[in-house]
Structure 1
Amino acid sequence: MADVSCSRCGQTREGFERPPFPGAVGTRILGEICKECWGQWLKQQTMLINHYGLNVMDPQARTFLTRNMDAFLFKKGDAEDVDTTKQGTINW
């Protein structure tokens, strides 16, 4: 595995052998995100799924998670902090 200069944490750390996510986003993660930051995203994703009661088979839930993943990993947009007033719903 090659090291990657992570665009999220700014450090050079262990990267991936293959993209951890499909498509163009996965390719971007492969080149720009370290395993440690990806692990942090997986914890954040689990928290979002559990807090909002998301069904990952629902296209709206997947869009919500993908948007949050972009914000979390690539610092674009606003990363979703858990808003307890929205528990059980992903309506913005």
Structure 2
Amino acid sequence: MAPIVIYTKSWCPYCSAAKDLLQRKGVPFEEIEITGRSELREEMIERADGRTTVPQIFIGEQHIGGCDDLYALDARGGLDPLLVA
């Protein structure tokens, strides 16, 4: 399974929803909390091609996007194949 990384902020409801979906899928993920950590925020923005909102989700080296992108990917059946690849 490709490693999953999710950049979050502690107070973000979209971050919680994205993490909830991944937990329901039973997959481990690395959470990178960027609240008050400008160096990690800059890292996220660079990896996410300039996107500044949280969460930003990566499966392996593939940028999935934010919470809505993750749920849309799951709804069209594209998330599970990425999780087992």
Structure having the larger proportion of residues in helix: 1
> TM-score, normalised on structure 2?
0.31
TM-score, reference length from structure 1: 0.29
Structure with higher strand content: 2
* Greater RCO (Cα-Cα under 8 Å, separation 6 or more): 2
